[in-house]
Each structure stands twice: as C-alpha cells, then as structure tokens.
Amino acid sequence: MGSTLIEKIFAHNIGADSVKAGDIITVNVDRVMIHDIFIPFVKDKFEEMGFQKIWDPDRTVLIYDHLVPASQLDDPRHHHIGDEFCDKYGVRNVHRSDGICHQLMTEAGYVKPGDVAFGTDSHTVTYGCVGAFSTGIGYTEMASILGTGKLWVRVPETIRVNIKGTLPEGVTSKDVILTIIGDLRADGATYKSLEFTGSTVDAMSVASRMTMSNMTVECGAKCGLFSPDEKTAQYCGLTELDDFLKTLHGDDDAVYARVLNYRAEDFVPVMACPSQVDKIKPVSQVIAEASAMEEGSIVPSVGLIEDGTVRVDQVFIGSCTNGRLEDLEAAAAVLRGRQIAPFVKLIVTPASRKIYREALANGTLDILAGAGAMITTPGCGLCCGRTGGILTDNEVVVATNNRNFLGRMGTSKVNIYLASPVTAARCALAGKIVEG
C-alpha cells in the first residue's frame, strides 16, 4: 500500500520505512519560527522550564513583522526582549524589518522541501507550498522545542484535492482556495493534511501555491502540501531535486480520507463575506443579493447599498496570503493608467523587502501609486488590525488577506470581504463591489 505526501515526509524525518495516519510520532524539528508578538511569552516559558540553552540556535528564526513599525507604546518592548533573547542564546537568524515571517521562511531559504517546521503563528502552514510540513503551535510548545528540538505529532489523515485544467482569465489561486474552503467549511479539514495535485496546480507558480497553503488553516487543516517540482527547486535555490524529494508525492494507492475533484474552468471570482471565512459567494452573487436590498440602506454584515451593489471604503492588497510580486503586478494590470474612486483608501503592502524592491524596480509600485495607492513598508500591516488602516462601524473593506473575523481590522461592525488581488483592484477602481 502506498503513502500520502505527509506520511512520506514524516517517515523520512524519523528514519522509519513508513508511518501511517493515526500514528503518534516524535519528530526532529528542522526549523522553528517565532514572531514579535509571542517572543516575550516564549522567553518566559523557556526560562520557566529551566532550559539553559537552545538545542540549535541556527535552526531558530526570529522575525519582527506584526509590530513593525511599532504603532503602540508597548510594541518596542517586544523587540527589546527579542534582541536580548537572541544575544543571550546565540540566535543569529533575526529579521527586524525584512517582511512577513511566512514570506521570509522560504524566500530567505530557511525552509526546504521535505523539512519539518513549526512556528508560533497559525499561518505557518504556508511552507507546504514547497513540500515541507509546517504548522502553528502555541508559545509553551515552542519553548519546549527550543529546549529539546523535538515535538510529538499525530500523523494526519489526508484529503486529496485534485484540480485539472486551465483557470479562466481573472481567476487566481485565491479564488481556488476560497472556493475549496467554502466547500469544506471552516472545520472540514480539522487535524487533516490537504494535498493538492493536478495539472492546474502543476502550472501554478510557487507564489500562487503559497496563497493556497497559507489559507488551509482556515478550514482547520494541519498542513496544506504541494509536491516539490522544478519550480520549487529553483525557488528554493536547489540545483535539482534529490532522490528523496523526487518521491514526495502522494501515491495513488495511499489511503485518503476524502478526494475532491475540481475542473479549473468551473472556478469564478469569489469572496469570503462578512464575517466568516467559509461564507464564500461568487462576486456576481454578492452583487445580485445587494441589488435586491434597499438602496441607501446600511445592512448588517453587508454594508451600505449603493448603485445596486455594496459601497467600498477601503481596499487592502498585501499580507502573507497575497503580497507577492505577482499579486502586486495583477493589481497593477487592472489599475495601469487609471485612478481609483476618490473616496477609496487603497493600501498596498508588499510581503517582503525583496518583493518591495522588485516591484519598485519593474515599475509596479509606480503604477499603483499613480492610481492613488498608499504603499506601505513590508510587514503584517493591516491584516492583523494593528497598523494604519483601521476601520469603523459599517465600513466595507475588500482585502486580499486570509481572515475576515469579527473585529479583526477595527470595530466588530466592520465588514471585511476577502478576495483576490484582481477583484480587490477592480473594487478600488469602482468604489464598490464589482466583478469585472
């Protein structure tokens, strides 16, 4: 009997011939990531546990991204504690303003295909885009890994998602993963591994795959994996995939909890509507429903109904979900030579300094700024509701990030719609929710 992709990664990690879903194993951790919000808590727990040294400082990465640049009086305390922690325990992999942790972990080469990684953030699942196992944990467990280099995990069952064909124009991997989350629901993959296969994902860039892996936690998944291929090798700076990495695909005769099959041609632009990430509707349906509501009224969990659709106050393009060069270029292609609606605040936040500079060099940022965008420093920015762009009651934001939870970007009456960079840019241009 064959193995799933996650079973192969875990078997290799512990040096076993095979492991099966349901087994409880202790893995050897290849890399850990801690970010600025939780470093004070990790430090406290690490010292409370009585550890004197980190098992392997070079496998430890500390990234400041949620609180950069600091926006609250207490934020710098986290950075001071982080710096002291690194000095004391010899951690040299520290990024203080280079970008979002989940972008940097693969971009800066910390996580490679086949690795086992943990982070103090739920979107640590992102590194599945290169065929690595990675998932989020709390600060107490992170402290125990720092001391031991190990963690127990239950080998998850796998849901295989097979997508074949060519995506329609204007439909991105964001629309694909939102649609899948809508089908699985917010708890549909809890404790499970998602394994993406098929000609559609084979044709995707690593950046597009990253968007999908990033959001798998929104349906409860423990990880969201792609098989490494030549594009992965190039992105990760490997000259070629070695014999082990070439085996990293799910076998057809492996045991799958479920198999979902999609035709790429069936996908359409969609949105996650306020305030559940699995409340997925085609953009055309959002508009159709709004057009049946009373013009000029403010509808809870929808927004202000204007011109037969929903008025948009702000648009956010960025985050570890959709802040990469191809995302900024997709938005720029919509906005080139045009002006956003005068009342819309368009905030663009590249996911890393590298992306920022690439977008600067190739003119993408100039197009966006020319259209009326505010370009911000790389980081988590508005996604976690801590820096510029907080909204108030009944306002509507169309955003490319991964969560539209109640109160995430301001008050609990803010209406957050999640969408692709293409849809977000179109909405910024029109000042309302539009499809094309």
Partner 1 sequence: MGKVFRFNKDVDTDQIIASQYLLFPTVEEMKVHTFESLDADFASKVKPGDFVVADSNFGCGSSREQAPAVLKALGVRAVLAPSFARIFYRNAINIGLPAIVCEGLYEAVKTGDEISLDLEKGTVALGDKVFPCTKLPLHLQKILDQGGLIPSLDEMA
302 in Cβ contact with 415 (< 8 Å):
yes
Considering beta carbons, is residue 49 or 360 the nearer one to partner 1?
49
Dist CA 54 CA 139 (whole Å): 15
Instruction: Select from 26, 191, 261, 295 the one that contacts partner 1 (CB under 8 A).
Output: 191
Minimum distance, C-beta of residue 432 to partner 1, in the bound complex (Å): 27
Report the run of H or E that residue 140 belongs to, with start and end.
helix 139-148
- Interacting span for partner 1 (CB under 8 A) from 118-126, 261-269, 288-296, 323-331: 118-126
Minimum distance, C-beta of residue 383 to partner 1, in the bound complex (Å): 10
Dist CA 160 CA 341 (whole Å): 42
Q: Does 105 bind partner 1 (CB under 8 A)?
A: no
Q: Does 78 bind partner 1 (CB under 8 A)?
A: yes
82 in Cβ contact with 39 (< 8 Å):
yes
Q: Does 23 bind partner 1 (CB under 8 A)?
A: no
Minimum distance, C-beta of residue 100 to partner 1, in the bound complex (Å): 14
Instruction: Select from 162, 247, 276, 362 the one that contacts partner 1 (CB under 8 A).
Output: 276
Q: Does 297 bind partner 1 (CB under 8 A)?
A: no
Instruction: Select from 45, 79, 160, 354 the one that contacts partner 1 (CB under 8 A).
Output: 45
Query: Which SS3 state, helix, strand or coil, does residue 39 take?
Result: helix
Within residues 311-340, the interface with partner 1 by CB under 8 A covers none
Burial of 202 (0-12, 13-18, 19+ CB in 10 A): middle
Total of chain residues touching partner 1, rule CB under 8 A: 45
- Interacting span for partner 1 (CB under 8 A) from 114-122, 256-264, 323-331, 339-347: 114-122
Q: Does 102 bind partner 1 (CB under 8 A)?
A: no
383 in Cβ contact with 403 (< 8 Å):
yes
Q: Does 69 bind partner 1 (CB under 8 A)?
A: no
Q: Does 220 bind partner 1 (CB under 8 A)?
A: yes
Residues 6+ apart with CB under 8 A from 55: 145, 146, 147, 148, 149
- Interacting span for partner 1 (CB under 8 A) from 138-146, 231-239, 313-321, 364-372: 138-146
386 in Cβ contact with 67 (< 8 Å):
yes
Residue found by looking up tokens 């107490």 in the block = 140
Instruction: Select from 48, 58, 230, 393 the one that contacts partner 1 (CB under 8 A).
Output: 48
Instruction: Select from 385, 389, 421, 431 the one that contacts partner 1 (CB under 8 A).
Output: 385
Dist CA 303 CA 413 (whole Å): 9
Minimum distance, C-beta of residue 264 to partner 1, in the bound complex (Å): 28
162 in Cβ contact with 258 (< 8 Å):
no
Type of residue numbered 285: Q
Q: Of 393, 338, 350, which Cα lies nearest the Cα of 374?
A: 350
Dist CA 229 CA 203 (whole Å): 11
Residues 6+ apart with CB under 8 A from 365: 328, 348, 356, 359, 375
Report the run of H or E that residue 137 belongs to, with start and end.
none
197 in Cβ contact with 128 (< 8 Å):
no
Q: Does 55 bind partner 1 (CB under 8 A)?
A: no
Q: Does 386 bind partner 1 (CB under 8 A)?
A: yes
Q: Does 74 bind partner 1 (CB under 8 A)?
A: yes
Q: Does 138 bind partner 1 (CB under 8 A)?
A: yes
Alpha helices in 276-410 (DSSP H): 283-291, 319-322, 325-335, 353-361, 364-370
Minimum distance, C-beta of residue 123 to partner 1, in the bound complex (Å): 9
Q: Does 121 bind partner 1 (CB under 8 A)?
A: yes
DSSP 307-321: TTEEB--EEEEEHHH
Instruction: Select from 127, 133, 139, 235 the one that contacts partner 1 (CB under 8 A).
Output: 139
Q: Does 40 bind partner 1 (CB under 8 A)?
A: yes
Q: Does 93 bind partner 1 (CB under 8 A)?
A: no
Considering beta carbons, is residue 201 or 397 the nearer one to partner 1?
397
Considering beta carbons, is residue 72 or 199 the nearer one to partner 1?
72
Q: With both helix axes pointing from N to C terminus, report the angle between 39-48 and 75-89 in degrees, rounded to the nearest 10.
A: 40
177 in Cβ contact with 278 (< 8 Å):
no
Instruction: Select from 18, 26, 28, 72 the one that contacts partner 1 (CB under 8 A).
Output: 72
Q: Does 388 bind partner 1 (CB under 8 A)?
A: no
Q: Does 301 bind partner 1 (CB under 8 A)?
A: no
Dist CA 156 CA 301 (whole Å): 35
Binding site for partner 1 (CB under 8 A): 37-38, 40-41, 45, 48-50, 67, 72, 74-75, 77-78, 119-122, 124, 135-141, 144, 186-187, 190-191, 218, 220, 222, 276, 278, 384-386, 403, 405-408, 412
